[in-house]
Structure 1
Amino acid sequence: MEEKVQEKQKNEFFEWVKAIAFALLVAFLIKQFLFTPVLVKGASMMPTLEDKDRVIINKIGPKFKSIDRFDIVVIENVLLQKNEEENIIKRIIGLPGDKIEYKDDQLYINGEKFSEPFLDQKKKELKDSGSLTYDFTLEQDLGEITVPEGHYFVLGDNRRVSNDSRNPEIGFIPKEKIMGTTSIICWPFEHIDLNFN
């Protein structure tokens, strides 16, 4: 009788071990291939995203649908000034084939005016009479007339401090460098937003 009890306890223990191992495997696969949290570093996406916000990346979405203009994306292994590679979060402005220009704080894509309502708050916060986004064309900053095929042009919402595609060292972002899109802030509690984009 005692042997049966011990055998039953042993079986229960192994069932628990298998269940926990399976749960850990599922969690690892979800984080690796579907959704993963990322820490926002710096002020380049303010006020949309603040330093130390945590966002959830949708890694699977861009594999099944196109990346759209104004999506917020996480880009992996961008070489920054410190000669260190790190992931950055920016907003898609230019799609492959687009001609991008800013004039008098106004975005023009292929000669057509585009509004950027996500910049309204930042523009109101300016303490001087200057523009949030300085005048430029792709040709001036990057030597190209249009965004190359398979690449994207990205900017931070806090245009005056953002290190983004305007910097030739970063330049156009290849599609394969885009880890995924994000529209969910999951931390801190007071910033939680399930669709900030």
Structure 2
Amino acid sequence: MENGKHLTNSVSEALHEKQPRVKHEMMDWLKAIVVAIVLVFIIRWLLFAPFIVEGASMEPNFKTDERVVVNKMIYDFRDPKPSEVVVFHVRKEQKDFIKRVIGVAGDTIQYQGDHLYVNGKKVEEPYIQKAIQDAHAKGELYNNVDFPNGTITESKVPEGYIFVMGDHRNNSRDSRAIGFVSIKDIVGRADVVFWPIDNAQWVKHK
């Protein structure tokens, strides 16, 4: 009987000692969850943001419904550079667009057929070179919507703005239609395609 009392007391003491330990572990888990939520909030709203590509305006490099990670910090430290892919807000349409930077403040942009000139120098565009070649092989212009028959259109980018175009030049609503984009309206740079998994890759900005 005495042994039974000792056993009962031992079990009670063990349970009594375990309770504070369990509470301590639960508090640690709760703190970890709170920290994780805060980090997700910071990353999501301050540093990076997801963006869904809509439409074919950035083909062949971006497909509709692809998900990309947008770096929201980079342009807090420097201005956008030509050929970078940016996401920006179009106030009149209350939506975000994804396009490629063609010209920055002070640049004079000219088009002649499928040839792009910035400040009088022809610019090679490796990110759409194959698409241009395929169009030419069919006897067509790749950029055949706003500048038909090889006519030249010239634009000079004002201070505080950029000129953007979609990679799918004959199927893109960009600065040719909506005008220059204010740097203040830029959400960030598209850095990673993360969905679908098969298409996951770092975004090439050149």
TM-score normalised by L of structure 1: 0.86
* Aligned: 1:114 with 2:123: yes
Q: Tell me, what secondary structure is at the counterpart of 1:117?
A: coil
Aligned-pair CA distance for 1:103: 0.7
CA distance in 2, matches of 1:37, 1:176: 19
Aligned-pair CA distance for 1:136: 4.4
Contact persistence 1:98–1:146 (CA under 8 A) = yes
State which of 82, 89, 95 in structure 2 corresponds to 1:86.
95
Q: Tell me, what secondary structure is at the counterpart of 1:79?
A: coil
The residue that corresponds to 1:141 in the other structure is: none
Equivalence map 1:4-43=2 (5 Å): 4-43=17-56
State which of 182, 185, 194 in structure 2 corresponds to 1:186.
194
CA distance in 2, matches of 1:55, 1:76: 16
The residue that corresponds to 1:142 in the other structure is: none
Q: Tell me, what secondary structure is at the counterpart of 1:37?
A: strand
Aligned-pair CA distance for 1:162: 0.2
CA distance in 2, matches of 1:96, 1:125: 32
CA distance in 2, matches of 1:76, 1:20: 33
Contact persistence 1:184–1:196 (CA under 8 A) = no
CA distance in 2, matches of 1:180, 1:38: 10
Q: Tell me, what secondary structure is at the counterpart of 2:175?
A: coil
Gaps of 5+ in 1: 139-144
* Aligned: 1:149 with 2:166: no
Count of residues in correspondence between the two structures: 185
Give the letter for the 2:179 counterpart: G
State which of 107, 122, 132 in structure 2 corresponds to 1:98.
107
Structure having the higher Rg: 2
Query: Matched residues, percent identical?
Result: 35
Q: Tell me, what secondary structure is at the counterpart of 1:45?
A: coil
Cα RMSD over matched residues? 1.8
Task: Give a deviation string over 1:148-195, Cα, whole Å, max 9, x none.
Answer: 10000000000111000000xx21100011111123211112211124
Q: Tell me, what secondary structure is at the counterpart of 2:127?
A: helix
Aligned-pair CA distance for 1:51: 0.8
TM-score normalised by L of structure 2: 0.82
The residue that corresponds to 2:180 in the other structure is: 172
Contact persistence 2:114–2:132 (CA under 8 A) = no
Give the letter for the 1:188 counterpart: P
CA distance in 2, matches of 1:108, 1:77: 26
CA distance in 2, matches of 1:116, 1:196: 12
Give the letter for the 1:5 counterpart: K
Gaps of 5+ in 2: 1-12
- Runs in 1 of length 4+ with deviation above 3 angstroms? 1-4, 77-80
